[in-house]
Amino acid sequence: MDDDIRLVERYMAGDDMAMEEIVLKYQRVIYAFVYRMTRDMEEAKDLTQKTFMNVIGGIRNFRRQSSFKTWLYQIAAHATLNQIRQCRKNEVEIGETIVCNQKGALSLLMEKQRIQDVRSALSLLPERQRLTVVLRVYEGLNCEETAGVMGCSEGAVKAQYHNGVRKLREAMKEKGHDTVS
């Protein structure tokens, strides 16, 4: 039996420490996911807390049709998308930390510009394509897990991902970059 399922069962049996273990296990990845979607640290903190409050409130509705991790990401995605819609924010944090291994100043500046261009291009994607790209590329979820989070078929995930990546490549090409990594 999955460790997460054991924790859920312990919590539902009255062991509050089990929920604390769940939160400790997932709070960083959920925060990082929400931050990538919102690009706002305070909002990401609030939405991470809201996600876990929703988990606590809805854990009895967890039907085990997907993994607990998929269910958790689904809750985080819904809370985040609702907030984005409400605030009309369309940017996503995608940049990775630039590791400076003796790059020249010009090379470093060009890399920073490329990351900013990816962020900008990603923020222009339709919401579902942006969510698919973030879940697949930056959260490392496979098609099945992404479909579970988004509440759609794997085929829809593949189509959204393909179209999103195609649009990102086109946008990056327009800005003079060869490829999107």
Same domain, 13 and 60: yes
State the pLDDT confidence band at 137, using cuts at 50, 70 and 90.
confident
Tokens of 61: 């509705």
State the pLDDT confidence band at 118, using cuts at 50, 70 and 90.
confident
Residue whose token pair is 């579902």: 128
6 CB-near residues (< 8 Å, 6+ apart): none
CATH number for the domain that contains residue 24: 1.10.1740.10
**How many other CB atoms are found less than 10 A from the CB of residue 96?**
10
Mean pLDDT of 43-54: 93
Tell me how many domains the chain contains. Answer: 2
Q: Is pLDDT of 176 > 90?
A: no
Distance separating alpha carbons of residues 82 and 11, to the nearest angstrom: 28
Predicted local confidence at residue 25, as pLDDT = 95
CATH number for the domain that contains residue 159: 1.10.10.10
Q: Is pLDDT of 95 > 70?
A: no
Q: Which of 87, 117, 144 delimits the end of a domain?
A: 87
For the chain, give the mean pLDDT.
81
Same domain, 22 and 66: yes
What share of the chain in percent tops pLDDT 90?
33
